[in-house]
Every structure is written in structure tokens, then in C-alpha cells.
Amino acid sequence: MSALVVVFSACSNPSEQPPKVEEKPQTIEGFVAADENFVLTPKKRPEMNVLGRHYKAKPEELKTLIIGTAREVNDIILENNCIINGPIMAVYQQLPKEGVVQDIFVGIPINKTIVQSKFETMRIPKGKFHKAQTNASIGESSNLWEQVSKRIKADGFKLEPPYIEYPSDTRNAEMTTVVTQANLLLPYLK
């Protein structure tokens, strides 16, 4: 009972309480634009070493490419004691267009460069990117690449590769990872 009185008396004495610090309202720092299909914000990325493989394919085949690449790349990562630094991703050298066969590099960012005969390590320099969180699934974002790039150009930015697409994931009621949306990264260049 006396401990309760001590705590109560300490809390009730206003002269002993520290002054309250006013909380600043939170802002959406870096918010650029929103659309019914995407939210655009700036994002800084560290240098990435992406272990993967080049494919000649259409962007809408990306899900299949990811499934075909993930296991083999994960095995190599495990064999070489690497650390995964991000989700599996697709790297394009030109803006993806639906139905157009192009070079697509699919890989996983890791902590070091690996010399491998079947796969290669693509180095993506650190930098600032436009990140578009979309309402499209991975590989189904071709029309959004065009919308996002138009918005970026309208704001006075240049478009230059690499163009990166990677999934964001959430957990369902069973705590299983579910890929729900594609994130698009375009270099932040004036």
C-alpha cells in the first residue's frame, strides 16, 4: 500500500514532473503523387549486387521467370554463405511494354559478388529512386510503367535504366507470405 502512495504522490506533484514536449504532426516526407493505381515516393537504395540471370521474355512472363530462378539462386546463395539483402527482383534496361520481348534480368540482392558459370552478379549503384507502390501483381504492371514514367517526366525528371520491379509481400491470417503488389523503381534523375 505504501508503494502505491509513493507512486501516486510522485505523479500528483506537478513541480517534479518534466515539462511536456509538444509533438510535431507527422508528415508524409517525400510524398510526390498518388493515383488510383500507384503511390509515388522517393527512396534511397544502397549499392546492390544482384545474383541472377538474363532472359529474353515479355514482362507478363515475369512470375514464371521468378519461380524458375528463385530456387537455383537460393541454392547458390546458401552454398556460398551469402546474405540476402532484399527481395527477388527484375531489372529492365528499357521500360517494360506488354507483349514486347526484351532483356529481363531476374535475381536476388546479396552481400557480395559471386563468380558463377550459370548466373552473374549485376551491380546496381546506390542512389535515389522514384518508388511506385502499385495495385498490380508482379508481372502485371506494364501499363503502370507507362503511367508512372509519364508522371515522372511531367515533373521534370529524366528516364534512364535500370528500371526495377520487385514484389511487396504481406501475411495472411495463417501468417503465410502472400505477394500482393509490385513496386517499381526508376532512377531519380533531373
Give the length of the chain: 190
The Cα 98–Cα 53 span in angstroms is 21
pLDDT in tens, the chain (190 residues): 444 444 444 444 444 544 444 443 333 355 577 788 899 999 999 999 999 999 999 999 999 999 999 999 999 999 999 999 999 999 999 999 999 999 999 999 999 998 888 899 999 999 999 999 998 888 889 889 999 999 999 989 999 999 999 998 655 556 555 556 899 999 998 8
Chain centroid to CA 70: how far?
Answer: 17
What does the domain layout of the chain look like in residue ranges? Answer: 35-187
pLDDT in tens, 20-48: 444 433 333 555 777 888 999 999 999 99
Q: What is the pTM of this model?
A: 0.78
Helix ranges (H only) for the chain are 2-12, 62-79, 142-154
Q: Which fold has domain 35-187?
A: Multidrug-efflux Transporter 1 Regulator Bmrr; Chain A (3.20.80)
| pLDDT of the residue at 34 | 79
Backbone angles phi, psi at 67, to 5 degrees: -60, -40
